Homo-oligomer: A and B are copies of this chain.
Amino acid sequence: MQDPKTTAANSSDALAELRATLGADVVSLPAEFDGRQFADWSGTPSTTPLALIRPRTTEEVATALRICHRHNQPVVTQGGMTGHAGGACVLGGEVALSVERMSGVLEIDPVSATLTVLAGTPLQVVQEAAEQAGFMFALDLGARGSCTIGGNIATNAGGNRVIRYGMMRDQLLDVEAVLADGSVIGGRRKMIKNNTGYDLRNLLAGSEGTLAVITSAVLRLRAKPTAVSTAWCAMPNYDAVTALLGRAQACLPAGVSAFEVMWPSYCDFIRERLPELRVPLGSEHAYYVLLETCGADPERQSAAFEDFLADMLDDGVIADAALAQSEADAAAFWAIRDAPAEYPRLIPGRVSFDISFAVAQAGEAARRCDERLRARWPRATILVYGHLGDGNLHVVVQEPGWRDDAIDAVKEVVYEVTGELGGSVSAEHGIGEEKLKVLGLSRSPAELAAMKAIKLALDPRNILNPGKVIAM
């Protein structure tokens, strides 16, 4: 397997050719974009790029990459800048390529249930366009107003509905992208089944800008649920949590659309710091589950949901439950789960983790993290919660006045547990720059070598987002 070309970039030539070929409107220099932010939500340090490229078309992206490829000029692609792993940060020496001008829904095909969209389109715009056409676009996450479809694909975004509809990769029918040498792959195919060789679409999903620049995509639309049933359940122990998950998946006619688990410390934190959210039920239970099912036929679904909860109470699976009687009730339950949006104000300087395990192991993982963190930092705020139906835990740790080295020590503890239990160091946020050091806990040396070989095959000069995802 070949080594990356280590020829130094000839940046001044690259910049001159980019500007001469694409024009000053597309390629601007630092003095011209003074004050623009190039950091994402991860806190990863980000510097100023050598130039900012804002193409309007796939052809302009291809032209830009051809020039950068020829001059070994590194490129970092940027979308909504809402990432949690530093994947879109500027490490130094790159030009930034923003897809912000490639925005808009190109077509909705209601018969095929597809939506064709440019990469720079915000997720929320896609959700609203799908809604207006009588469908649902299934991906949903907190950053919906800012994050872009291209970024959602590049990071294989997860979010609230994975348990029912899968990750971003599961919403893709085709992805158009420009490879490092400027060649354009993919396009506008709408087939659900297409076994014609290697699955480039799934290779690009989650590659975080290191294999190609994503320019457009054909997305799958789903039938819009017309009935949503929601309950807040208090659970006696972890076995009951997994039992509820299994029985809900088996017994609820429309399956499970959300299964969010909160540990008591999380609920106590909300009670204390955000009392206006009124956490339901008592604080004496071992776990709390926000359970949701969504389908059609509101009357039959409500009846089935109530029957199911009654059975779970009778069988002792659930200790207590609050059933949402209205959309407002359901929104109030979700507000508790969505409280992390308030973290920047409530627990500044926190360390956050996005780890996953087999569902059977997630409870033990949380227990070990909590125990070891608490032993070392007894006064810290330690919050555990997550999309447990997918085995995905979020762990958040903070202590006012922490020294910088505490953050690294906290990471060591949590990632040690992740490695011990064969978990993933990134369930849904990706690797970016931030998790590069711990990737080896979740991937074997042979897998890292295979990834590196693929990277070099598609980007032999390592110009696409170097320093992210895979160490070259």
Q: Chain A: residues with CB nearer than 8 A to chain B?
A: 1-2, 109-114, 134, 155-156, 158, 162, 166-167, 169-170, 179, 183-200, 202-203, 205-207, 211, 222-224, 226-227, 242, 246, 249-255, 295-297, 300-301, 303-304, 356-361, 387, 390-392, 422-431, 435, 439, 442-444, 446-451, 453-458, 460, 469-470
Residues of B within 8 A of A361 (CB): 112, 190
Of A170, A254, A430, A447, most buried by chain B (CB within 10 Å of CB) is: A447
CB A292 to nearest CB in B, in angstroms, measures: 15
Q: How far, in angstroms, from A193 to B194 measured CA to CA in the complex?
A: 23
CB A419 to nearest CB in B, in angstroms, measures: 12
Residues of B within 8 A of A211 (CB): 198
Q: Out of B224, B296, B427, B456, name the residue touching A195 (CB < 8 Å).
A: B427
B196 touches A425 (CB 8 A): yes
Copies per complex of this chain: 2
Given contacts A185-B444, A192-B356, A358-B190, contact A197 B253 (CB under 8 A): no
Residues of B within 8 A of A169 (CB): 199, 202
B199 touches A205 (CB 8 A): yes
Q: How far, in angstroms, from A194 to B443 measured CA to CA in the complex?
A: 10
15 contacts between A and B (CB under 8 A): A1-B460, A111-B358, A112-B359, A158-B193, A184-B444, A185-B444, A189-B422, A189-B424, A192-B390, A193-B356, A195-B426, A197-B470, A223-B255, A253-B254, A253-B300
Q: Out of B192, B360, B447, name the residue touching A109 (CB < 8 Å).
A: B360
A469 touches B112 (CB 8 A): no
Given contacts A197-B469, A301-B253, contact A358 B191 (CB under 8 A): yes
Given contacts A202-B169, A460-B1, contact A426 B196 (CB under 8 A): yes
Q: Which 6 residue pairs of A and B lie closest in terms of their CB atoms, listed nearest first? A: A457-B457, A190-B358, A202-B202, A111-B360, A183-B446, A453-B457
CB nearest to A363 among chain B residues: B111
CB nearest to A300 among chain B residues: B300
Given contacts A192-B391, A199-B169, A206-B199, contact A246 B110 (CB under 8 A): yes
Residues of B within 8 A of A454 (CB): 198, 203, 454, 457-458
B253 touches A194 (CB 8 A): no
Known: A112-B391, A191-B423, A199-B202. 19 other contacts (CB 8 A): A109-B358, A111-B242, A112-B361, A179-B446, A183-B446, A185-B450, A191-B356, A191-B358, A192-B359, A192-B390, A193-B390, A193-B427, A195-B430, A196-B426, A198-B454, A199-B203, A199-B206, A255-B295, A457-B457
Q: How far, in angstroms, from A454 to B199 measured CA to CA in the complex?
A: 11
Q: How far, in angstroms, from A194 to B442 measured CA to CA in the complex?
A: 9
Residues of B within 8 A of A448 (CB): 197
Residues of B within 8 A of A255 (CB): 223, 254, 295
Of A112, A187, A195, A423, most buried by chain B (CB within 10 Å of CB) is: A195
CB A306 to nearest CB in B, in angstroms, measures: 12
B296 touches A250 (CB 8 A): yes
Q: How far, in angstroms, from A204 to B85 measured CA to CA in the complex?
A: 27
Given contacts A183-B449, A185-B444, A203-B199, contact A427 B194 (CB under 8 A): yes
CB nearest to A227 among chain B residues: B253
Q: Out of B162, B188, B191, B200, name the residue touching A193 (CB < 8 Å).
A: B162
CB nearest to A157 among chain B residues: B195
CB A63 to nearest CB in B, in angstroms, measures: 15
CB nearest to A196 among chain B residues: B442
Of A2, A188, A196, A211, most buried by chain B (CB within 10 Å of CB) is: A196
A391 touches B191 (CB 8 A): yes
